[in-house]
Amino acid sequence: MDALAASHPVDQAVRLEVQDLIARYADAIDQDRLEEWPELFVEKCRYLITSAESDAEGLPHGVIYADSRGMLRDRVSALREANIYEPQRYRHVVGPIVVEAESETTVKARSHFLVVRTMHTGDTMLFASGIYRDRIDVSHVPCRFIERIVVTDSHKIDTLLAIPL
């Protein structure tokens, strides 16, 4: 544990808040309450879906990239109003969460995920696996994402990525 983390130990109440945020994230997406998804982020946020390969190479592009809550809301309205894709749902399985102190008001979190995608035809596949790298504002309750970097293990995406990971 580095000096900063040691000087700001993450207390149990904050850990529970962070766990709750990460759980609500998956619940909002998997239960098709996408409109709740942007509200889990602070206004000036950062959301990026990249791959482990691109991440290791330091490439900045993401298949989805947003730097504001407005862009996340636009993503949802585009999915609702504009984009054509077959009905489908995700099931997130999120593993244990590592929480580390960052500052008086923020923490860093890492968690591993699997996303299973089921199409309206009944076809089910393991759609994505990877890690969430989060920075979370814990100055208010409920806490919110300042940044969520989704790093997928594979650089391949089957057919299309409509619903966010």
CB of 138 to another protein, least distance (A): 25
Separation of alpha carbons 83 and 60, rounded Å: 25
Phi, psi of 18 (to 5 degrees): -65, -45
CB of 53 to another protein, least distance (A): 7
107 or 132: CB nearest another protein: 132
27 or 86: CB nearest another protein: 86
Three-state secondary structure call for residue 87: coil
71 or 114: CB nearest another protein: 71
Block residue for tokens 């309206």: 120
CB of 72 to another protein, least distance (A): 9
Q: What is the CA radius of gyration of the chain?
A: 16
CB of 153 to another protein, least distance (A): 13
Interacting residues toward another protein by CB under 8 A: 49-51, 53-54, 59-68, 70-71, 73-74, 77-78, 81-86, 155-162
Q: For residue 122, what are the CA distances in angstroms to 27, 32, 87, 89, 119? A: 21, 17, 10, 10, 5
CB of 131 to another protein, least distance (A): 17
7 or 83: CB nearest another protein: 83
**The amino acid at 93:** V
23 or 85: CB nearest another protein: 85
Three-state secondary structure call for residue 160: coil
What does 29-84 look like in DSSP terms, one character per residue? HHTT-GGGSGGGEEEEEEEEEEEHHHHHHT----SEEESSHHHHHHHHHIIIII--
